[in-house]
C-alpha cells in the first residue's frame, strides 16, 4: 500500500506532492488515522496554541483504503483540523462522491495550510492541482457553489465533485461546516470556519485514474460474501427504507429524544412521532456516497399535498433528513411537521452550518424567553429588532439561523461558537449565570439526544476527542442492552449491557472508541457495523478486506491495538492543548436534572458519572487524577515519539 498526499500552502500558493509510504499505513491504517498523524506532525513545527482561525491551523482531508474498493461499506471522507469553536481536536466525516473521486484523481489525502490573499478554490484533476480565483463564488451558498463548479469543469475526464463552504464558513462562524457534493455535510467542529479563514471557498476534483487493489480476486469474493450477509438480514430491509429515521419511533418508545432544549425526552406532535416519512415524502432511494450495499439515503420533493405547511416548500428537493437533523428540529426546537424538518436539513446544509450546535443555541434562547430570564428589552438588544421566540415556529428559527450564520447582530456574534460559548458570553454580559440552560459536553459541543439514562453515552459526551459526541464511542452495548457483546468483549461478564449500574461502562467507551477509530481509518461507514455489531466487527469482519486491499495482514488483536493507537494520538493532541480530567465534563442539566418521561424516568448522569469516568481512564491505562496518558501505555503502543513530545509539554503522567 502506498498513496499520495497533496500539500497546499495557500499563503505562498506552493503545492507539493508527497508519497505516503507503506510504513505509515502499518502504523496508522489510513483515513482518519493518517489525517491525525499529518496534523500531529504539522503542530510539531507550528504553535499548537495558535488561533484556529489563523494561517497556522491545518485542514486535512483524507480517505481510507477501503473506501470505494468494493467493500460495499460506503465511502467516508474525513476532515481533521484544530476546532475553531471548541478550541480542541476537531474532525468530521461525510459521504458524497467527492472522496471517491479524490482517490481517482490520484490522492488519498490533502493537507492545506496558510491563508490565501483573496478567495480561491482548489482544482484537482488527475494528479495535478491549481488554485483558481473564487471571487465569483464568494457569497454563494454551498449548493450554488457546487453547481457553479460543476458547470465550470464539466464531465470530462470525469464528473466534477466538490467540497464547499457556505455563507457561514465565509463569515468564519465557529460552527460552520464543510459540504460534500452540496448535500453531505462534514458538520462537527467548524471545518468550514477553518476553510473560510483560509479564504478557500471550495475544492473541485475530477479524476480518471484508478486505484490499485492488492488482491482483487480476494476482495471481490469478500465483497460478494458480505453482500449475501447483508441481503439475508431481514432487519436491514427496514433500514434500507428509512435509514436513521428508523430511530425516531424507537427513541419515542424508550424516551431518548431531546425535546425543547432537553426539558423533555419525547417528541410531541403526532406527525413526527410516526413512521410515515417513506409514505409521504420518499421519492427514490440513493446512496450517500458510493460503494454501499445498504443505500439508506433517499430523496424527497415536496409537492404541497403532504401537509398544510408543506405548501410553503412546493418544489423543494433535497436528501432525506437524518435522525439528528430530525432530533434537532423536531426535538430541540419542537418543529412538528416533516416538510419543515426536511427544509431545516436543507437550509442548514445550504448555509453550511452544524445543526447540533445551532439548534441548541436557538433552543437556549427560546428557553430563556420561556422561563422569563430575558425581557423584551433584552430581546431587542440581542436582535436589534423585536423578535418572537416561539417554539416550533420555522420563521423565527430561520431568522435566528440567519443571524448566527452571518453574525449580523449581537445574538449571532455571541452564539457563533455554539451554545456553551454563547451562554458564557451572555452570562458575562448580563452579570448573571445562565449556564444551567446551556446544553454541552466536553469543549462546549452540544448534542440533541436524550442520554441521561445511559451512563456510557454520558461518558462519551465527556471524553470524546472532538467534544461531546456519540459516534466516537457509541454506546450500543448499553443502549441496545447487548448481553452477547458484553460477554464477548469482557470475558463473559454481562454488566456492560445493564444501564442501571456503572460497571463496564467506561470500559465500553474505551473498547468502542478503538473500534470506531478503525472504521474511520478504513474510510467506510459506521452503519454496517452498527446494524450487526457482532457480525461486522471492524477488527474481525473488515480485517481480511483491509489485507486484500492493502496487503497488510493483521490479527484482530493487532487491529484493536491499531485502533487504540489512533485514539491515543487524538488524546495526546488535546493534552498538548492543556486538557485534563476537569475538561472531561458535561452540562448541568444532564448532570443533575432528572428525566421526567420515557421508559427511564428519574435518570441523572451524576449518579454514575465519576465512577464511569474513573473506569474509562483505568481501561485506557491513563492517569485517573490528571486524566493524562501514562508513559508506559504510550510505550506499549509504540508511541515513544509522542510520549517525548508530551513530556516536553508537561502533559504526560508518570508511570
Within positions 64 to 103, which residues make up the interface with other proteins, using CB under 8 A? 68-70, 72, 100
What minimum distance in Å lies between the beta carbon of 255 and other proteins? 8
Residue that the C-alpha cell 457480525 belongs to = 535
User: Is 285 a residue that touches other proteins (CB under 8 A)?
Assistant: yes
Q: Which residues pair with 129 in a beta bridge?
A: 124
Distances, alpha carbon 86 to alpha carbons 89, 232, 354, in Å: 8, 43, 13
Q: Under the criterion CB under 8 A, does residue 424 sit at the interface with other proteins?
A: no
158 vs 160: CA distance, rounded Å: 6
Identify the helix (H) or strand (E) that includes residue 128. strand 128-133
| DSSP string covering 399-410 | HHHHHHHHT-SH
Task: Out of 4, 260, 268, 299, point to the residue binding other proteins (CB under 8 A).
Answer: 299
Whether the upstream peptide bond of residue 305 has omega within 30° of 0, thus cis, is no
Q: Which three cell numbers stand for residue 477?
A: 452495548
Contact with other proteins (CB under 8 A) among 91, 108, 170, 291: 291
Q: Is the dihedral of CA 615, 585, 603, 259 positive or negative?
A: negative
Binding residues among 505-564 for other proteins as defined by CB under 8 A: 526, 530-532, 534-535
Measured from the CB atom, is 269 or 384 closer to other proteins? 269
Give the footprint of other proteins on residues 205-244 (CB under 8 A). Answer: 208-216, 219-220, 223-224, 227, 230-244
Among positions 17, 26, 51, 249, the unique one binding other proteins when judged by CB under 8 A? 249
Least spacing, CB of residue 432 vs other proteins, in Å: 36
Site string for other proteins, 459-498 (x = CB under 8 A): -----------xx--xxx--xxxxxx------------x-
The 102-141 site mask, x for binding other proteins (CB under 8 A), equals: --x-------------------------------------
Query: Which lies closer to other proteins via its Cβ, residue 468 or residue 474?
Result: 474
- Report the residue number, 429 or 531, with the smaller CB distance to other proteins: 531
* Distance, CA of 351 to CA of 65 (rounded, Å): 31
Peptide bond between residue 645 and the one before it cis (omega within 30 degrees of 0): no
Cell triple for 261:
432544549
* Smaller CB separation from other proteins, 242 or 452: 242
Distance of closest approach, residue 595 Cβ to other proteins, in angstroms: 12
Q: Which of 270, 372, 377, 654 binds other proteins (CB under 8 A)?
A: 270
Q: Which is nearer to other proteins, 539 or 631 (CB)?
A: 539
Angle at 124 between CA 121 and CA 125, to 5 degrees: 145
Count residues near other proteins (CB under 8 A). Answer: 89
Q: Are 416 and 354 in contact (CB under 8 A)?
A: no
Beta-strand relationship, 120-125 and 200-206 = parallel
Neighbours of 380 (CB within 10 A): 12
- Report whether 474 contacts 449 (CB < 8 A): no
Q: For other proteins, give the closer residue by CB, 70 or 196.
A: 70
Alpha-carbon torsion (644, 649, 654, 655), positive or negative:
negative
- Sketch the per residue contact string, 318 through 357, with other proteins: x for CB under 8 A, - otherwise: ----xxxx--------------------------------
The reply on whether position 150 binds other proteins by CB under 8 A is no
CB nearer to other proteins: give 48 or 531.
531
- CA angle, residues 336, 341, 347, in degrees to nearest 5: 145
Instruction: Check: CB of residue 143 under 8 Å from CB of residue 163.
Output: no
- Which residues 355-394 are close enough to bind other proteins by CB under 8 A? none
CB of 263 to other proteins, least distance (A): 21
Amino acid at each position: 500500500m502506498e498513496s499520495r498526499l497533496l500539500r497546499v500552502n495557500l499563503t505562498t500558493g506552493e503545492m507539493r506532492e508527497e508519497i505516503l509510504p507503506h510504513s505509515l499505513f502499518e502504523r496508522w491504517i489510513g483515513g482518519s488515522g493518517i489525517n491525525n498523524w499529518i496534523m500531529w506532525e504539522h503542530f510539531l513545527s507550528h504553535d499548537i496554541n495558535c488561533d484556529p482561525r489563523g494561517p497556522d491551523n491545518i485542514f486535512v482531508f483524507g480517505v481510507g483504503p477501503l473506501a470505494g474498493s468494493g467493500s460495499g461499506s460506503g465511502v467516508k471522507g474525513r476532515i481533521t483540523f484544530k476546532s475553531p469553536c471548541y478550541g480542541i481536536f476537531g474532525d468530521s466525516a461525510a459521504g458524497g462522491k467527492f472522496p471517491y473521486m479524490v482517490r481517482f484523481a490520484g490522492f488519498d489525502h490533502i493537507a492545506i495550510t496558510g491563508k490565501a490573499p483573496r478567495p480561491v478554490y482548489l482544482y484537482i484533476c488527475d494528479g495535478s492541482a491549481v488554485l483558481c480565483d473564487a471571487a465569483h463564488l464568494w457569497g454563494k451558498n454551498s449548493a450554488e457553489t457546487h453547481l457553479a463548479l460543476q458547470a465550470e469543469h464539466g464531465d470530462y475526464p470525469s464528473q466534477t465533485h466538490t467540497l464547499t463552504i457556505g455563507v457561514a464558513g465565509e463569515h468564519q462562524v465557529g460552527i460552520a461546516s464543510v459540504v460534500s457534493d452540496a448535500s453531505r455535510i462534514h458538520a462537527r467542529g467548524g471545518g468550514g470556519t477553518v476553510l473560510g479563514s483560509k479564504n478557500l471557498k471550495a475544492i473541485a476534483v475530477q479524476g480518471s485514474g484508478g486505484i490499485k487493489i492488492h488482491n482483487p480476486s480476494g476482495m471481490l469474493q469478500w465483497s460478494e460474501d458480505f453482500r449475501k450477509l447483508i441481503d439475508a438480514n431481514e432487519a436491514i430491509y427496514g433500514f434500507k427504507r428509512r435509514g436513521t429515521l428508523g430511530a425516531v419511533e424507537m427513541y419515542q418508545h424508550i424516551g431518548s429524544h431531546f425535546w425543547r432544549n432537553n426539558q423533555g425526552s419525547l417528541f410531541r406532535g403526532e406527525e413526527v412521532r410516526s413512521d410515515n416519512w417513506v409514505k409521504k415524502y420518499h421519492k427514490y432511494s440513493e446512496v450517500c456516497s458510493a460503494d454501499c450495499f445498504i443505500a439508506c439515503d433517499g430523496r424527497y420533493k415536496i409537492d404541497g399535498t403532504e401537509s398544510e405547511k408543506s405548501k410553503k416548500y412546493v418544489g423543494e428537493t433535497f436528501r432525506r433528513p437524518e435522525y439528528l437533523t430530525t432530533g434537532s428540529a423536531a426535538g430541540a426546537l419542537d418543529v412538528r411537521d416533516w416538510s419543515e424538518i426536511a427544509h431545516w436539513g436543507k437550509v442548514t446544509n445550504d448555509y453550511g452550518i452544524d445543526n447540533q450546535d445551532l439548534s441548541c443555541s436557538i433552543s437556549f434562547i427560546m428557553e430563556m424567553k420561556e422561563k422569563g430570564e430575558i425581557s423584551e428589552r433584552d430581546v431587542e438588544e440581542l436582535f436589534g429588532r423585536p423578535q418572537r421566540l416561539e417554539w416550533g415556529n420555522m420563521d423565527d428559527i430561520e431568522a435566528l439561523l440567519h443571524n448566527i450564520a452571518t453574525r449580523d447582530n449581537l445574538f449571532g456574534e455571541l452564539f457563533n461558537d455554539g451554545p456553551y460559548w454563547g451562554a458564557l458570553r451572555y452570562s458575562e454580559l448580563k452579570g448573571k449565570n445562565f449556564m444551567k440552560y446551556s446544553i454541552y459536553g466536553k469543549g462546549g459541543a452540544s448534542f440533541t439526544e436524550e442520554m441521561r439514562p445511559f451512563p456510557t453515552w454520558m461518558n462519551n459526551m465527556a471524553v470524546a476527542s472532538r467534544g461531546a459526541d456519540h459516534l466516537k464511542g457509541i454506546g450500543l452495548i448499553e443502549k441496545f442492552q447487548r448481553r452477547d457483546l458484553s460477554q464477548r468483549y469482557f470475558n463473559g461478564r454481562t454488566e456492560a449491557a445493564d444501564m442501571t449500574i456503572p460497571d463496564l461502562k467506561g470500559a465500553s467507551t474505551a473498547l468502542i472508541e478503538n473500534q470506531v477509530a478503525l472504521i474511520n481509518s478504513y474510510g467506510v461507514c459506521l452503519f454496517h457495523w452498527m446494524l450487526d455489531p457482532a457480525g461486522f466487527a471492524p477488527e474481525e469482519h473488515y480485517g481480511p478486506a483491509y489485507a486484500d486491499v492493502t496487503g497488510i495482514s493483521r490479527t484482530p488483536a493487532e487491529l484493536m491495538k491499531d485502533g487504540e493507537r489512533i485514539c491515543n494520538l487524538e488524546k495526546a493532541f488535546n493534552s498538548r492543548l492543556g486538557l485534563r480530567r476537569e475538561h472531561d465534563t458535561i452540562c448541568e442539566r444532564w448532570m443533575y436534572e432528572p428525566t421526567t418521561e420515557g421508559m427511564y424516568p428519574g435518570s441523572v448522569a451524576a449518579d454514575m458519572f465519576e465512577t464511569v469516568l474513573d473506569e474509562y481512564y483505568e481501561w485506557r491505562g491513563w492517569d485517573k487524577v490528571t486524566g493524562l496518558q501514562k508513559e508506559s501505555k504510550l510505550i506499549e503502543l509504540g508511541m515513544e515519539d509522542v510520549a517525548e513530545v508530551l513530556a516536553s509539554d508537561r502533559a504526560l503522567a508518570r508511570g
